[in-house]
Structure 1
Amino acid sequence: MYQAKKQGVLLVNLGTPAEATPSAVKAFLAEFLSDPRVIDLSPLFWRPLLHGIILPIRAPKVARLYQQIWMDGGSPLMVYSMRQRDKLKKRLNIPVELGMTYGQPSLQDGLQRLTEQQVESVIVLPLYPQYSGTTTAAVYDALGLALKSFAVVPELHMIRDYYQHPLYIKALAEQVRSSWEKHGQGDYLLCSYHGIPQRYANNGDIYPLHCVETTRLLATELALDEHRIGMAYQSRFGKEEWLQPYTDKTLESLPQNGIRKLDVISPAFSVDCLETLEEIAQQGKETFLASGGEVYNFVACLNDSDAHISLLAELVKDSANRQE
């Protein structure tokens, strides 16, 4: 008689420094920015620049930013990711572990903990709704490296994206409506996605297509026309052109176009982190108000909300059903 393999889930996020210190931030950024999926420049050029100039200058600055948002249990990304892991495990009643593409706990750590629980078939769920070579594909790469030390490799089933899943769109809409109920509805809802270099999209990365579709579906769910919702890209790095429009430039221009009360959400982030809590919630607010805006409301990420856990559970169940 055929016996089904024991299943488990590996939740994957990008990662975070272990501490809000320059040394910890430097170690994390060194690993993250050395991945050719993230920075595809020649190592002969990039590594001396990264280690000789960028990290010594950037690490202390980023550490100070992390210190502003650090929580009792660690960085917000780590705290919310662990809560997601625990709630999803309780919901599904199967082993669920957490692994980070960069930093700790590593993907190897997460996979090892699953195999120690006799898991033979792993559903890998990268917490990136929209696919990008810089994020989801990097998980594929890292999984291959992580499994090199395994004598017995488990089955892997990857959930590549969920940018248009009905429960994802409904969860985003629920988060926006909750903000409206608490703070009042703004004149405009800006969806701010993490950016990538325009060159990556030109070379075939489908990430911007996914972002556009998520925004369109969210607009439909919230019954917002094109004059009430829009999108932009944040967190650009370096001097080359990135996906546009840029979030900071958009925040500067919106008040000049009559938008005085603004709501901002970051749909590409599954948990709040430095890029949402500091860059958007704090810096973004300062930029908008300094440009003539009057009210700025940051809509929190889905984090460990019930709607988000329901979505993640459905994604896992769908993947498991496809294997039968």
Structure 2
Amino acid sequence: MSLEKTGVLLANLGTPDAPTPAAVKRYLRQFLSDKRVVDTPRILWWPLLRGVILPLRSPRVAKLYNSIWMEGGSPLMVYSRRQEQALAEALPDVPVALGMSYGQPSLESAVKKLLDQNVDRIVVLALYPQYSCSTVAAVWDELSRIFARYRKLPSLNFIRDYADNSAYINALAETARRSFAVHGEPDLLLLSYHGIPQRYANEGDDYPQRCRDTTRELVSALGLPPEKVMMTFQSRFGREPWLTPYTDETLKMLGEKGVKHIQVMCPGFAADCLETLEEIAVQNKEIFMHAGGEKYEYIPALNDEPSHIAMMAELIGRYR
């Protein structure tokens, strides 16, 4: 058994500090300035970002955040803190720190918190089940920048993703079955993943395949026939083509075709956030219902479900 002291770094995207235009602007400026997220040449992108996108988008996004804000912060922050606490309770001898790629608490503060507790090894669990260059690789990049300033480095174990991990799949299946038990089995289960530009996939990002891996395993675990499940992509931004089919357009099409009852899961989100609680649970529900649908339920993310925390502990246990 190793005598090294291991710490765990939980990483996620981040969130504004408040549902205000100023806070959202600060957050979006940092997020949309990352080349992993938007790789347009800076000389072209920064004037557009700072002069057009941030002034116009920040007030609109702040209103959306305000509609879902919870006591204690944004849903992503509230659930991430709960995950951090629950995982620390599940691993009482292992320091756990939460860090965000953008906003607070930063990844740098999380690293410092762990090193201040004299850890020799850090296991990094980026809470993106399916690898993408725009999410997981952004965590890798930031950690590289952080550790470049240290003389002494800890051992580092970086969990790339867990798209087809059996405990993760079983946790998803459990939440779907609970929803079916309450609302009835839907005509169609829609699995909506966050999108990325199609170009990123063309250039080697295997995110679409990892989404397909999750979908395949989840459909198998639920025992659903393939025709009762669809996989789509949401949250596109900008004008270039993103991964298809698009969630919003698909829901409109399904409503118009006479599909009456849909339930939606977002397996790519480890914690509920603006993209699930507002975009999927509100905006996309309206699209489906206005197109002729009759029943629509959003199945919540795994958040701090015990099965989710147990899955994290199992993953981390492989590196202790």
Once the two structures are superposed, the pairs formed by residues 119-134 of structure 1 within 5 Å of their partners are: 119-134=119-134
Task: State the TM-score, normalizing by the size of structure 2.
Answer: 0.98
Counterpart for residue 43 of structure 1: 42
Q: Shift in Å at residue 319 of structure 1?
A: 2.5
Q: Which moved more, 1:49-58 or 1:216-225?
A: 216-225
Q: Deviations over 1:52-102 (max 9, x none)?
A: 000000000000000000001000000000000000011011100100011
Superposed counterparts of 1:243-262, under 5 Å = 243-262=243-262
DSSP-derived class of the 2:98 partner: strand
* Structure 2: distance between partners of 1:264 and 1:287: 13
CA distance in 2, matches of 1:24, 1:120: 36
Q: Runs (4+) of structure 1 moved beyond 4 Å?
A: none
Query: Contact (CA 8 Å) 1:159, 1:319: kept in 2 or not?
Result: no
CA RMSD of aligned residues (A): 1.0
CA distance in 1, matches of 2:97, 2:217: 31
Contact kept in structure 2, 1:234 and 1:247, CA below 8 Å: yes
Q: Hey, what does 1:148 align to over in structure 2?
A: 148
Letter in 1 for 2:258: G
Give 2:208's aligned amino acid.
Answer: P
- 1:144, CA displacement in angstroms? 1.1
Secondary structure of 2:227's match?
coil
State the distance in 1 between where 2:27 and 2:2 align. 42
What does residue 263 of structure 1 align with? 263
Aligned residue in 2 for 1:240: 240
2:96 aligned with 1:96: yes
Bigger mean CA offset, 300-309 vs 181-190: 181-190
**Maintained 8 Å contact 1:179/1:299:** yes
Q: 1:3 to 1:214 in 2, by over 3 A?
A: closer
Contact kept, 8 Å, 1:121 with 1:156, in 2: the verdict is yes
Alignment-mate amino acid for residue 176 of structure 2: V
Supply the distance in 2 between the matched residues of 1:279 and 1:146 (Cα, whole angstroms): 33
Distance 1:115 1:79 in 2: 24
Counterpart in 1 of 2:176?
176
Shift of 1:149: 3.2
Structure 2 gaps, min length 5: none
Check whether the contact 1:157–1:319 (CA below 8 A) recurs between aligned residues: yes
CA distance in structure 2 between the partners assigned to 1:311 and 1:217 by the alignment: 16
Q: Distance in 1 between matches of 2:172 and 2:258?
A: 25
After superposition, where does 1:2-151 map in structure 2 within 5 Å? 4-93=3-92, 94-151=94-151
In structure 1, the residue matched to 2:230 is 230
Identity %: 53
- Deviation string 1:127-171 (CA, Å, 9 cap, x unpaired) is 000000000001100001122333422211100010000001100
The number of residue pairs the alignment matches comes to 319
Can you give the 5+ residue segments of structure 1 that lack an aligned partner in the other structure? none
Q: Distance in 2 between matches of 1:146 and 1:278?
A: 33
C-alpha distance in structure 2 between counterparts of 1:200 and 1:43, whole Å: 18
Letter matched to residue 307 of structure 2: A
Q: Secondary structure at the match of 1:283?
A: helix
Helix, strand or coil for the counterpart of 1:163? coil
| Paired position in structure 1 for 2:301 | 301
Q: CA deviation at 1:3?
A: 6.4
C-alpha distance 107-24 of structure 1, shift in aligned 2 (>3 A): same
Distance 2:179 2:268 in 1: 18
1:198 aligns with 2:198: yes
One-letter amino acid matched to 2:57: R
TM-score (norm 1): 0.97
Are the aligned partners of 2:258 and 2:292 in contact in 1 as well (CA < 8 Å)? Answer: no
